[in-house]
Amino acid sequence: MTDRTTGPPPVHPAWLPDAAFAPVGSRRVLVAPGPDAGPVGETVVAELRRATAAHGGTLTVVDAAGPRLDDATVRAHDLVLVVAPRAGGPGQRRYPDAHPTAYLVAAATAGRYDGETGGQFAPDMVRRVRVGGTTVVAAGGAVGLLYGLHGVVRLGERAFQADDGDHLERPLTPVRMLDHWDNIDVHPVMGQVERGYAGGSIFYADGRVRDDLSRVADYARLLGSIGVNAVAINNVNVHATEARLLTDGLADVARVADVFRPHGVRTYLSVSFGSPMRLGGLATNDPLDPDVQAWWAATADRVWATIPDFGGFVVKADSEGQPGPFAYGRDHADGANLLARAVAPHGGTVFWRAFVYNHEQDWRDRRTDRARAAYDHFAPLDGRFDDNVVLQVKYGPLDFQVREAVSPVIAAMPRTRVAVELQVTQEYTGHQKHVCYLGPLWSDVLGFPLAEDATRTVADIASGLPGPRTPEGAQLRAGGITAVSNVGDDEFWTGHPLAQANLYAYGRLAWDPSADPVALLDEWLDLTFPGADPRVRETLHAFMDDSWLTYEKYTAPLGVCFMVDPLRGHYGPNVDGYEYSKWGTYHFADRDGIGVDRTVATGTGFTGQYPAPWDAVYEDLATCPDELLLFFHHVPYQHVLKSGTTVIQHIYDTRADAVDVVESWVPRWEALRGLVDDRLHARVAERLAEQVRSATEWRDQVRTYFFRKSGVPDASGRPIY
């Protein structure tokens, strides 16, 4: 990473410290990026050159136009990385128009594979095999070579051990995006990074794009290493200055794109639906108005003329005050297709957010349900969106809660490309002041069998796959996986050093949603703390494996959601903070019970938006999972859960037990003093102290609130105030 020896402390290398490259850099390496390597191929060579220089290995770079190497020379290397769009086995169809570096596949694998046979590899497809003493990575293109290199770095010494078979990989989804909610101008309420908990923006300072983008280059390197291939660089709530990135600021956007490009990352912009009036001086934003259509087409032409590999637009419309097509009597298919047709000639994509609801709700109205809104708006439009529109759907129907049901919209749009939106920044999970490893939450969501009689997962829908993952399988109407970034200009990137694991796990799960989140945590630990004392791994697993569930246990219970403090940006407890507000985020606790009745029979009818069997599962109190009980049902405090305890006693017990767990982390972390970097140790210790304080406040407020509501004492006799 960039070394800053003067001024602020050096930026933490996250999971790419030089030591993590020692197993690769200490060996004899050959790389053949091919004649079309471009800037990504140059990045692969630069990474290998840096690693071998640091760790005593050697590097051979094969020039595709140079003389062929003989087999013995190739096999003399410990690691061979080669761009070869084919890598088939003996007996497969041979293609005479072989790629210039494809011959190296047969040489490196002693004939097990041949770069002139087999099916065509996609550019991001990677085959890794070890034959004899050589580890071979063959990739369909330069970006696949980058992914293959980092796959070897993650394996470390294991990549150079006994032959371990054939590994064929490619990302499940074509777009793996991070949305930055960064503002150029510091917002008076939200600050520079909306829902940002790690300092200011890495892109902007002093009201403009930074002159020095070296920190962005470091970030791009991190993203390329985990397979993230798209970044939207400004807030979805597009304010006046940020809107001008689309016009006056294009040259600066191009500078950012230049920094991302060498790591296989395409640049996107969040744009305002109101841009024709705001930027173009038009009298309307009506999507059916010819002048509006012409303005967007001309704007797209300028964008792609400046940035030929620009990705496209992210749009939040008719949501929380943002302008949209409703103002003109149009629907969201009309609005999205307006932009889609403008960017289509350039191969661009429009990510259109489905986060549309009434944010001026009357709290007295028990029938209006914010959870229903996205389905009600978008399900009737299925099949009307152009093919280069991706509907970006939050994974839950409310707003990134610590526990909520999976959004039924994801299953309701079979003729529409759908991207699942996650939140890496910890808006409702502790503001990156609390240890809360979100990999298990995202794994549960992506693996949830939502559609087609519980046979098709959320990840299948996002990838367009009708069935199990196959590396060569067709990706029918793939959408992607997106998330809100948790990065700022903090020394440790994410404020809390352990929150780096969330960014890492997001990229790896977006690549392979079937990955075990605990195994991904192991990867992150091995890379971030290479060669560390085993006590470091043991301690961090003790903290992090179940930290999401621990956080849930001291905050809002059984899927009821919110209970956060609106005056502190959703940090800390305020059980009734939103109960009488306009935002539609209620728990309806009274003297008799708690929860939101979303059943068809007696409630808002939200359960009816789910496909079978989930509509029946959630409708019936007897089959509704306990962890979502209060999301779907209003129940008495003495309702008995499947665990055998009552709702009220569960609330009492889990909050108290969770604080005991968090308190136990403090001495365990203190015992690692001297075993990890001093600055990192001090930052985590500071955050743990705050987590204990906040968790204690959550425990005491929630337990006391429900005792005062219900009048039911805690059977354990623990203090209630």
Instruction: Give residue 488's identity as a one-letter amino acid code.
Output: G
Helices 214-226/250-260 angle, 10° precision: 50
427 assigned to active site? yes
CA–CA separation, 257 vs 254, rounded Å?
A: 5
Tell me how far the alpha carbon of residue 10 is from its chain's centroid.
26
How many Å separate Cα 502 from the centre of its chain? Answer: 8
Phi and psi torsions of 485, nearest 5° = -70, 155
Q: How many Å apart are CA 295 and CA 271, to the nearest integer?
A: 14
Q: Do 433 and 684 form a contact (C-beta atoms < 8 A)?
A: no
Q: Residue 277 corresponds to which tokens in the numbers above? A: 């009036």
Whole-number Å distance between alpha carbons of 569 and 394: 19
Do the bridges between strand 230-232 and strand 176-179 make them parallel or antiparallel, or are there none, so unpaired?
parallel
Q: Tokens 């409630």 identify what position?
A: 603
Q: How many CB atoms lie within 10 A of CB 425?
A: 30
Which residue from 279, 280, 382 is spatially nearest to 336, judged by alpha carbons?
Answer: 382
Sign of the C-alpha dihedral, residues 448, 450, 452, 453? positive
3-state helix, strand, coil in the chain (%, to 5): 40, 15, 45
How far apart (Å, rounded) are the C-alpha atoms in residues 614 and 23?
48
Q: Which of 63, 163, 248, 320 is catalytic?
A: 320
Find, among 583, 184, 568, the residue nearest to 355 by Cα.
Answer: 583
Q: Check if 182 is active-site.
A: no
Task: Say if residues 62 and 29 touch (Cβ distance below 8 Å).
Answer: no
Rounded distance, CA 317 to CA 558, Å? Answer: 32
Is 666 within 8 Å of 689 (Cβ atoms)? yes
Q: How far is CA 699 from the centre of its chain?
A: 30
- Burial grade of 430 (CB within 10 A; 0-12, 13-18, 19 or more): buried
Q: Using an 8 Å Cβ cutoff, are 229 and 176 in contact?
A: yes
Catalytic residue among 218, 427, 490, 653: 427
Question: Which of 242, 399, 523, 597 is labelled catalytic?
Answer: 399
Has 320 been annotated as catalytic?
Answer: yes
CA separation for the pair 493, 69 (Å, rounded): 43
User: CB of 84 within 8 A of CB of 33?
Assistant: no
Residue found by looking up tokens 């290397």 in the block: 77
Say which residue the tokens 């009708």 belong to.
466
Taking the C-alpha atoms of residue 346 and residue 307, their distance in angstroms, rounded to an integer, is 11
* Cα 28 to Cα 57, 133, 479, distances in angstroms: 6, 11, 40
Collapsing DSSP to helix, strand or coil, 522 comes out as helix
Peptide bond into 613 cis (omega under 30): yes
Strand-strand pairing, 126-131 and 134-139: antiparallel
Q: Which of 566, 718, 588, 602 is nearest to 652 (CA)?
A: 718
Specify whether the CB–CB gap between 482 and 470 falls below 8 A. Answer: no
Provide the edge-to-edge strand list for the sheet that holds 58-61: 58-61, 28-32, 79-83, 134-139, 126-131, 166-169
User: Which two three-digit tokens encode residue 620?
Assistant: 């019936």
Cα–Cα dist 175/512, whole Å: 12
Angle CA 541–531–19, to nearest 5: 120
Dihedral, 208, 209, 212, 213 alpha carbons, nearest 10? 160
The tokens describing 587, both together, are 């728990």
Residues serving a catalytic function are: 320, 399, 427
